[in-house]
């Protein structure tokens, strides 16, 4: 019989998507034909700016399409066998879990508490887990909530494990009605848990309202006299699993790093690096799972799933990190805000998994600590002669920490069994100037220089030659809170685009790595595709103004209906939309969800990406710095959702944010163009524009339909006057220039 320990723990299987591939290639050939038509046109007619701009935009779309085909061509699926791993429980390595929160108002502590509770209750030996919460808000409310949560965890965790509860975030579990399930004993315990959770919720809400924290007076002294950007580090052990019980509760540690006005704090990346050091001194686990404060564990076997890839006997040290998809719990019917990203996760990330590996998404990811400490797959960085000297330069001046880093890099397996390293060392590594003479943020840890610290950190890991894996267990591993209506998702998108462009204009630009580095060739194309994403507002906006220009200036940029070549753009339109629609249907979504996402894609690119580009240009000119604005999170029980009807939930809300300006302007331009065109048709002149231009313009109006409704609605559902007047002025200028250009 084969040794059960030698059985593989996972399998990687190809996902067949023949129809998608066929459509991918067809669209690519149509795009090439369109380019050929343009060149032929430019050659046979006189040179015109209009057709040259159209050619350049279409060239960009074609190039992007080729890169995208590369990304999605070889999707793979990982099958894991956690039950085989359960036979080797004694081999399971320790895991440190990092949770980041930054603002108790935008990220209500009850959300963080639910995430922490779900983590404390995962299926994994509790004596090999430690949960570290970084609080960049340095809020006594967050600290208080965590201490209360820990009390509740004493009944919650045993309850979950005894009854194999599936969803271990209490706010989700208690929302299901279980009153008629299970035995009497279960019923009784379930009621008790439910009451206790209610109590916890009330305590936290009360504390948030009155800002008094019963029972914590001595602890709270540390939080007095702290300012948002001027305060000392605070590290508090809320719970230590001193006896090392495997069925007890994992360690729970609260960390608020030092912030001083003269030192940059690098937002989330800075917080993660502090957690890496503090945990290095306390538990120094070889694996690190990190989640955002709203991303609770939805599948209690996540860590076992991840370990299947790290501990598989048939491979060794192959994977640097294991990424789980980002999924969300607050999805509305038909995804009106396009914020569920199901297709993106399914097609692009699964596709990347078939090359060198998916990018790091910042949350729901298990890393090897030593990879974050800069190790290469061949183990260099640890064999050098001046190893320890070098380590000081890399990891900073704390002797204790350098020892722990050396330990981690050498993969030694004797882990510290007490949390209490010297408190002076702990505070030292959480100070704001600790990193100044070290390589934190440049070579080791989470990297600085972009608002997308995850993309940057992940791609630097790939560049060293590491692979990564993408696990998509059922039920989904983690669920988080997607940014909902109004300017929030646009701001979110803007930040992402800013981050990508920051990477593009940095020393870590993917174009250089295209030429150097140890990336696989196709992964190089992936990184180029990703970084060019930041620029896409420019060609899209140019292309969106072409039909309007033609309608106003009585010109054309598409073949006429009577020409046979008209079938090229027509088929492109049909096949592209068919392909997108099929992707939504294949992932179990509705046709309406496809349309909502298609529309949001245009809105996001034209509004958010453009402002992201502007933010980076301002940064490059030295006029302003880019800022990580924390996304507002709502628990599903918040008042807003309770008081609104279903229809209102998916309705767009507006405010005076400049994010709405580009979209509204494009919309007004299309409306003006169609009106001018209508007047033209009635005049006795030769009409040059055709059905193609009119259709493009109408299509854009349909994409910006929520904005059109916003022009006539009131209150938060209406576009404010200031925005409307700015946009009208811009649109007027455009129309004027179009008319002038024909004179
Ligand atoms: O100064 C800061 C700012 C943010 N955060 C935390 O960072 C996380 C992500 O912030 P959020 O506003 O939710 O941003 P999202 O855009 O939703 O996050 C996505 O994008 C980020 C940047 O790429 C990734 O880091 C995240 O993991 C990923 O979920 C949250 O836990 C915050 O508490 C900090 O700890 N300190
Ligand atoms: Mn988030």
Q: pLDDT tens digits for 80-109?
A: 999 999 888 888 999 999 999 999 999 999
Q: Residues lining ligand 1, CB < 6 A?
A: 100-102, 107, 134, 136, 267-268, 271, 292-293, 362-363, 452-454, 492, 628, 630-631
Closest atom of ligand 1 relative to the 631 alpha carbon: 12
Backbone angles phi, psi at 18, to 5 degrees: -70, -45
Q: In 3D, which of 456, 285, 277, 466 has the Cα closest to residue 371?
A: 466
Q: Specify the pLDDT at position 643.
A: 47
Q: Is the pLDDT of residue 123 over 60?
A: yes
CA of 509 to the centre of ligand 1 (A): 22
Q: Rounded mean pLDDT of 668-680?
A: 92
Residue where the block lists tokens 């590290």: 235
Closest atom of ligand 1 relative to the 271 alpha carbon: 35
Cβ–Cβ < 8 Å for 57, 537: no
Q: Is the pLDDT of residue 18 over 90?
A: yes
Q: What is the pTM of this model?
A: 0.94
Q: Specify the pLDDT at position 509.
A: 86
400 is catalytic: no
CA of 310 to the centre of ligand 2 (A): 27
Give the Cα separation of 418 and 421 in Å (integer): 7
The residue contributing the CA closest to ligand 1 atom 8 is: 292
The Cβ-side half-sphere exposure at 313, using a 13 Å CA radius, reads 12
Read off the pLDDT band of 600 (50, 70, 90).
very high
Poorest-pLDDT segment among 214-218, 321-325, 487-491: 214-218
The residue contributing the CA closest to ligand 1 atom 10 is: 630
Give the Cα separation of 365 and 469 in Å (integer): 10
Q: Is the pLDDT of residue 350 over 80?
A: yes
**Long-range contacts made by residues 586-594, C-beta under 8 angstroms, separation at least 24?**
586/346, 587/342, 587/343, 587/346, 589/334, 589/335, 589/342, 589/343, 590/334, 592/334, 593/334, 593/335
Q: What is the SS3 assignment for 207?
A: helix
Dump pLDDT digits (tens) for 518-528: 788 899 999 89
Q: Is the pLDDT of residue 566 over 90?
A: yes
Starting from the CA of residue 360, give the closest ligand.
Answer: 1
Token readout for 544 is 């969106």
> What are the E-state strand segments in 268-398?
287-292, 296-297, 319-323, 327-328, 365-368
Token readout for 509 is 């630009």
Q: Rounded mean pLDDT of 312-332?
A: 87
Give the Cα separation of 266 and 271 in Å (integer): 8
Q: Is the pLDDT of residue 640 over 90?
A: no
Dump pLDDT digits (tens) for 485-505: 778 889 999 999 999 999 999
Dump pLDDT digits (tens) for 338-348: 889 999 999 99
Q: Which of 291, 362, 487 to mutate to test the pocket of ligand 1 (most atoms within 8 A of CB)?
A: 362
Q: Specify the pLDDT at position 646.
A: 57
Closest atom of ligand 1 relative to the 633 alpha carbon: 13
Q: What percent of the chain has pLDDT over 70?
A: 94
Dump pLDDT digits (tens) for 697-706: 999 999 999 9
Q: Specify the pLDDT at position 381.
A: 61
CA of 449 to the centre of ligand 2 (A): 20
Q: Rounded mean pLDDT of 605-615?
A: 93
Cβ–Cβ < 8 Å for 439, 393: yes
Q: Which of 99, 102, 112 to mutate to test the pocket of ligand 1 (most atoms within 8 A of CB)?
A: 102
Give the Cα separation of 734 and 670 in Å (integer): 11
CA of 96 to the centre of ligand 2 (A): 21
Give the Cα separation of 67 and 737 in Å (integer): 36
DSSP for 620-633? HTTS-----PPPP-
Identified catalytic residue from 136, 292, 294, 335: 136
Mean pLDDT of the chain: 90
CB atoms within 10 A of CB 135: 27
Q: In 3D, which of 598, 568, 567, 570 has the Cα closest to residue 582?
A: 598
ipTM exceeds 0.95, yes or no: yes
Q: What percent of the chain has pLDDT over 90?
A: 68
Q: Is the pLDDT of residue 597 over 90?
A: yes
195 is catalytic: no
Poorest-pLDDT segment among 29-43, 125-139, 609-623, 672-686: 672-686
Q: What is the SS3 assignment for 399?
A: helix
Q: Is the pLDDT of residue 198 over 90?
A: yes
Q: Specify the pLDDT at position 371.
A: 95
Give the bridge partners for 14, in sequence order: 76
In which element (H, E) is residue 237 found? strand 234-239
Closest atom of ligand 1 relative to the 272 alpha carbon: 35
Give the bridge partners for 319, in sequence order: 467
């Amino acid at each position: 019989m084969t040794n059960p320990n030698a059985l593989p723990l996972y399998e990687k299987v190809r996902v067949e998507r023949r129809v998608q591939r066929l459509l991918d290639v067809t669209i690519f050939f149509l795009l090439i034909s369109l380019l050929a038509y343009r060149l032929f046109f430019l050659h046979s007619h006189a040179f015109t700016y209009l057709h040259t701009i159209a050619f350049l935009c279409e060239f960009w779309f074609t190039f992007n399409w080729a890169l995208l085909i590369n990304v999605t061509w070889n999707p793979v699926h990982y099958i894991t066998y956690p039950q085989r791993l359960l036979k080797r429980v004694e081999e399971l390595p320790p895991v440190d879990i990092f949770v980041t929160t930054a603002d108790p108002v935008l990220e209500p502590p009850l959300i963080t508490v639910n995430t922490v509770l779900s983590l404390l209750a995962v299926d994994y030996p509790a004596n090999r887990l430690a949960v570290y919460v970084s609080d960049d808000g340095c809020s006594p409310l967050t600290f208080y909530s965590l201490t209360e949560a820990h009390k509740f965890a004493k009944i919650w965790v045993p309850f979950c494990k005894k009854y194999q509860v599936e969803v271990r975030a209490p706010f989700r579990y208690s929302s299901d009605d279980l009153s008629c399930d299970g035995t009497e004993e279960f019923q009784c315990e379930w009621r008790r848990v439910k009451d206790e959770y209610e109590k916890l919720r009330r305590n936290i809400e009360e504390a948030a309202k009155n800002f008094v924290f019963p029972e914590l007076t001595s602890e709270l002294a540390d939080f007095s006299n702290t300012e948002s950007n001027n305060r000392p580090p605070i590290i508090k052990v809320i719970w230590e699993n001193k006896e090392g019980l495997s069925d007890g509760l994992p360690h729970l540690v609260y960390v608020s790093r030092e912030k001083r006005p003269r030192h940059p704090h690098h937002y989330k990346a800075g917080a993660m690096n502090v957690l890496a050091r503090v945990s290095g001194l306390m538990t120094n686990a070889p694996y690190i799972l990190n989640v955002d404060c709203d991303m609770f564990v939805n599948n209690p076997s996540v860590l076992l799933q991840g370990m299947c890839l790290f501990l598989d006997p048939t491979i060794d040290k192959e994977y640097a990190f294991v990424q789980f998809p980002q999924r969300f719990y607050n999805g509305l019917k038909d995804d009106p805000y396009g914020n569920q990203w199901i297709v993106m996760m399914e097609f692009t990330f699964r596709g990347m998994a078939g090359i060198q590996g998916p990018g790091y998404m910042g949350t729901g990811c298990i890393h090897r600590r030593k990879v974050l400490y800069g190790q290469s797959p061949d183990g260099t960085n640890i064999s050098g002669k001046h190893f320890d000297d070098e380590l000081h330069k890399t990891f900073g001046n704390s002797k204790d920490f350098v020892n722990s880093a050396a330990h981690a890099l050498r993969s030694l397996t004797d882990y510290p069994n007490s949390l209490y390293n010297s408190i002076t060392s702990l505070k030292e590594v959480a100070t704001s100037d600790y990193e100044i003479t070290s390589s934190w943020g440049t070579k080791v840890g989470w990297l600085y220089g972009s608002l997308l610290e995850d993309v940057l950190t992940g791609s630097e890991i790939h560049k060293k030659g590491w692979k990564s894996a993408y696990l998509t267990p059922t039920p989904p591993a983690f669920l988080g809170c997607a940014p909902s209506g109004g300017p929030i998702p646009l701001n979110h998108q803007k930040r992402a685009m800013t981050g990508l462009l920051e990477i593009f204009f940095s020393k870590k630009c993917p174009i250089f790595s295209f030429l150097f580095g140890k990336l696989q060739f196709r992964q190089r194309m992936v990184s180029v595709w990703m970084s060019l994403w930041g620029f896409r507002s420019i060609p899209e906006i140019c292309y969106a103004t072409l039909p309007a220009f033609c309608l106003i200036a009585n010109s054309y940029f598409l073949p006429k209906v009577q020409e046979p070549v008209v079938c090229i753009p027509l088929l492109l339109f049909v096949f592209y939309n068919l392909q997108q629609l099929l992707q939504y249907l294949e992932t179990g979504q509705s046709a309406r969800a496809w349309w909502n996402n298609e529309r949001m894609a245009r809105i996001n690119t034209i509004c958010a990406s453009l402002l992201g580009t502007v933010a980076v240009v301002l940064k490059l000119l030295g006029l302003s710095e880019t800022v990580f604005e924390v996304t507002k999170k709502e628990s599903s029980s918040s008042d807003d959702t309770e008081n609104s009807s279903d229809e209102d939930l998916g309705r767009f809300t507006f405010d005076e944010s400049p994010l709405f300006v580009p979209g509204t302007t494009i919309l007004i331009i299309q409306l003006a163009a169609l009106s001018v065109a209508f007047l033209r048709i009635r005049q006795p002149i030769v009409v040059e524009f055709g059905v193609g231009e009119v259709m493009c313009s109408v299509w854009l109006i349909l994409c910006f339909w929520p904005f059109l409704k916003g022009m006539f609605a009131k209150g938060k559902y209406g576009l404010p006057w200031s925005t409307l007047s700015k946009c009208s002025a811009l649109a007027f200028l455009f129309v004027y220039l179009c008319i002038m250009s024909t004179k």
